[in-house]
Amino acid sequence: MDVSAFHFLHPGWLLALPPLLFIALWLNRGRRRDNTWSKLVDSDLLPLLRLSEGGRGPSPWWLLAAAWTLAVVALAGPAWERQQSTGFRVPDAWVLVLDLSPSMAATDVTPDRATRARYAIADLLSAARDARVGLVVYAGEPHTVAPLTTDVVTVRELLQPLAPSLMPESGDQLGPALDEAERLLSAGGGARGKVVVLSDGCADPAQALLAAQRLRQRGTAVDVVGVGTPAGAPEPDGSGRFVRDAQGHTRLTRLQTDQLQRIAAAGGGRFVPLSELKDLIPALQAGGPREFDSDAAAPSTQVASWRNEGVWLLPPLLLLAALLARRGWI
């Protein structure tokens, strides 16, 4: 026992000690004199009404005072040692941002980029554990498919029909989609979270960089999964043909690796190609915002708290209560 560390966790209870002791002393004094009762009760009847015959038995008031004292000290919470316990951590919040611009219909990965991105999101949902997950899709504008929820099964069902052909407008604007992810995190009540973007590139890199920086400043890491290949593939135009340039040549759409790496760096996260998604999942599960470190393990949260030793006063308190309950005292 470290005497120097001794203190009370709830010292306010000690304020109840002086009045209780005063009451006990007053009752004990009143028990020893019967002048008041002798004026009201016949002298032959008074001895029969006393708590103990003849008024000379042991007094219960000192035991009552001792019980009160023990109870007050126990409630005050004497403590002198700390104990380690696992701290509660608010569930993580993941917002998955899926690019559904026309280029995501390219077939340089089988069967096409959008489908492979959906498969990757399904893997992320399986790894989410108890994390809350939200889903945002975008082309020219962002659209929230699912707000933050622990109902991963429903998010998985909503994921199935998503394709570039479902988007009401064309375009490739990642910046507004990142802003929408930030809005979902704020609406979900989480001060921090993670954003995972699945994309082959964007048409607004400057706006996307700024949005990623804002997320990083609020404690949210932005990881980017590149979907596609550097060699690229012809870009579908949505009508069964391919987009052509001014010279009439078929235009290729390629994975914009450098651009996506800069966005991930601005968001304090990591860029990985689709084939290396498994390397990103452990970092997402580790929890907490971070500068990415592939060798860092998820820390266990431990909280040191003072141990309330007032429980050790309960046995003597119960013993005193048993003595006070003897016949003739109460």
120-142 pLDDT, tens digit per residue, is: 999 999 998 888 999 999 999 99
Checking if the pLDDT of 298 tops 50, the result is no
**Cβ(43)–Cβ(110) below 8 Å:** no
Most distant CA atoms of the chain, gap in Å: 129
Checking if the pLDDT of 297 tops 80, the result is no
Q: What is the pLDDT of residue 20?
A: 75
Q: What is the pLDDT of residue 286?
A: 80
pLDDT in tens, 27-82: 666 655 555 666 666 777 766 666 554 444 556 667 777 888 888 899 998 988 88
Residue boundaries of the structural domains of the chain: 3-85+305-324, 93-300
Q: What is the pLDDT of residue 289?
A: 41
Return all residues near 251 (Cβ < 8 A) that are at least 6 apart: 234, 235, 242, 243, 244, 245
Residue type at 89? R
152: left (phi over 0), alpha (psi -120 to 50) or beta: alpha
Q: Output 300 or 40, whichever has higher pLDDT.
A: 40
pLDDT in tens, 156-205: 999 999 999 999 988 999 999 999 999 999 987 755 689 999 999 999 99
**Cβ(177)–Cβ(138) below 8 Å:** yes
Q: Output 295 or 208, whichever has higher pLDDT.
A: 208
Q: What is the pLDDT of residue 62?
A: 74
Q: What is the pLDDT of residue 300?
A: 53
Residue type at 219? G
CA distance 68 to 12: 15
Q: What is the pLDDT of residue 144?
A: 96
- 195, β-bridge pairs: 95, 222
pLDDT in tens, 205-255: 999 999 999 999 999 999 999 999 999 999 887 666 787 877 777 888 999
What the block records as the tokens of 31 is: 């028990």
Q: State the chain's mean pLDDT as an integer.
A: 83
Q: What is the CATH number of domain 93-300?
A: 3.40.50.410
- Per-residue pLDDT, averaged over 83-93, amounts to 67
Checking if the pLDDT of 108 tops 90, the result is yes
